[in-house]
Each structure stands twice: as C-alpha cells, then as structure tokens.
C-alpha cells in the first residue's frame, strides 16, 4: 500500500505558484521522497526527490518538513503544460530492487 | 538518449489469442519494470527485472509472462487474457547512481501500450 496521502485535486492559474502537499507520517529515516507526474496520455516522469534538505531543480522545488512527515512540491510558475497527476512516493527497497508504490496522486488543473 | 520505447502503441486481442508487448531502452540501465494502469487509477507494479533476472513478481497471474532476453529488451507475453486485463501497460527502466541528494534511482517510463481484451 502507498504510504503517502495527497489531496485528490488542486487548481491553479497560469503563471502562479502551486504548492502540492504530501503527508508521509510513517516515513523511516532512510526513505527518500520522490515526486513523479503523469501528463495526459503519457507515462509518468520523474520530477524531483529529496531526503532531508530542500531541493531545487529546473522543474520544481521540494520543501521537506523538519520532522520529514510531510513535504511540498512547489511549481514556481505553473504553465498549461504542468497540468498532470502528481504522485508523491516513498521508495521501497525489496531484495536489492526498488519499488515505486503509487498512491492516488493529486490531479492538477491549470487555468489559462 | 533517455527514451524507453514500447510497441505496439495499441493492441486489441481476443481471450484466446497470444500476443507480446515489447519494451526497449538503450541507456544501459540494469533494472526494468512492467506496470499496469487501469483508467483513472495509479500505475501498479507487476514485475521487476534486475540484471536480466526476475527479482520481483507482484503475484501477477500466470497468463502474464515476462521475459528479459538481454539488458536492453523486456517482453510481456500475454495468453488467455480476460476483459478485465484491459489497461495501459507501462514499461520503465532505471539505474542507481549517486546524485546531489545521495543515492538516486530515477525510473524512466515509456508511453505505454493500450491493451483491449475482447
């Protein structure tokens, strides 16, 4: 079962910042927090990941709470192309392999 | 090249047919995955191959048979499927590496094969 909870949907306006929350209260000390997104009619794509400190890349920023029980994906200026389902995932390691266990995700709608 | 390709894009098959889905990556990744995604649901892991050996089978029915002929190819053989097996089948690959945030194993997904079982 997925170990994260996210709102089912969120809405934003184009060129405004978007903050997508994720709760992972049962996170262990070695769990990485990953975010993937799935655009319509495409496979999921990696967005960002982190362990303890906040992270930035060209797509987004990831803010991780000090107790690591929650995190927030930040899109600084939403575009229409960012409309997608965003998944917050704790990676599970199983026999040397990694498993992505997807939760229900947050469907982001971006209004023009 | 960060592309995972899947063929065919669409497939319609009867319950008595045998068909195969193909996945290919040329990134030198050591792990490859099959996922199943029903409409409006998240992807669900089916199989994981690591160094061409099956390492995870998520209790998938035997009518789905994976095969990894070499490090770049992953097949999913289908036989005697049911209509409820209709779904988008996604392939992914990954390779562990050290990044700025420690160990990282990003999965790269293909566009999927949309399967309809009649």
Q: What is the pLDDT of residues B44-77, one digit of tens each?
A: 999 999 999 999 899 999 999 999 999 999 999 9
Encoding tokens for residue A72?
A: 């927030």
CA distance A71 to A55: 11
DSSP summary character for residue A32: P
Q: Of A51, A100, A103, which is closest to B101 when you measure between CB atoms? A: A51
pLDDT along chain A (112 residues), means of 10: 88 97 90 93 94 91 95 96 95 74 94 95
CA-closest candidate to residue A50, choices A33, A35, A73, A63? A33
pLDDT in the model for residue B22: 98
**Partner-chain contact A43 B101, CB within 8 Å:** no
CA distance B29 to B110: 14
Residues of chain B with C-beta less than 8 angstroms from the C-beta of A87: 42
Neighbouring-strand partners of residue A108: A10, A84
pLDDT in the model for residue B100: 66
Angle at B61 between CA B59 and CA B63, to 5 degrees: 150
Whether A10 contacts chain B with CB within 8 A: no
Dihedral of the alpha carbons of B7, B13, B19, B21, in degrees to the nearest 10: 30
CA distance B110 to A67: 35
CA-closest candidate to residue A89, choices A13, A40, A17, A20? A20
Residues of chain B with C-beta less than 8 angstroms from the C-beta of A33: none
Binned at pLDDT 50, 70 and 90, residue B2 comes out as low
pLDDT in the model for residue B96: 78
Phi-psi region of B28 (alpha: psi -120 to 50; beta: other; left: phi over 0): left
Residues of chain A with C-beta less than 8 angstroms from the C-beta of B3: none
φ/ψ of residue B84, rounded to 5? -70, -5
Burial B70-107 (b: 16+ CB within 10 A, else e): ebbebbbebeebeeebbbbbbbbbbeeeeeebeebbbb
For chains A and B, what is the number of CB pairs under 8 angstroms? Answer: 69
User: Is B82 a residue whose pLDDT tops 80?
Assistant: yes
Higher pLDDT: B69 or B102? It is B69
Encoding tokens for residue A8?
A: 């089912």
CA-closest candidate to residue B8, choices B70, B64, B62, B76? B76
Neighbouring-strand partners of residue A56: A61
């Amino acid at each position: 079962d997925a170990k994260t909870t996210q709102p089912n949907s969120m809405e934003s306006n184009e060129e405004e910042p978007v903050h997508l929350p994720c709760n992972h209260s049962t996170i262990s000390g070695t769990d990485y927090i990953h975010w993937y997104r799935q655009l319509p009619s495409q496979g999921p794509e990696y967005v960002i990941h982190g362990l303890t400190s906040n992270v930035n890349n060209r797509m987004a920023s990831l803010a991780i709470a000090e107790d690591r029980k929650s995190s927030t994906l930040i899109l600084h200026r939403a575009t229409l192309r960012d409309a997608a389902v965003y998944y917050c995932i704790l990676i599970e390691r199983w026999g040397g392999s990694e498993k992505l266990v997807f939760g229900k995700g947050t469907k982001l709608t971006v209004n023009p | 090249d960060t592309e995972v390709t899947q063929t065919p894009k669409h497939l319609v098959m009867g319950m008595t047919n045998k068909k195969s889905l193909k996945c290919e990556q040329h990134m030198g990744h050591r792990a490859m995955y099959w996922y199943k995604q029903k409409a409006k649901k998240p992807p669900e892991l089916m199989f994981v191959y690591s160094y061409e050996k099956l390492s995870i089978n998520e209790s998938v029915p035997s009518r789905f048979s994976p095969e990894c002929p070499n490090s770049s190819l992953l097949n999913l053989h289908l036989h005697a499927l049911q209509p409820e097996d209709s779904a988008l089948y996604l392939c992914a690959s990954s390779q562990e590496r050290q990044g700025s945030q420690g160990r990282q194993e990003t999965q790269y997904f293909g566009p999927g094969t949309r399967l309809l079982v009649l």
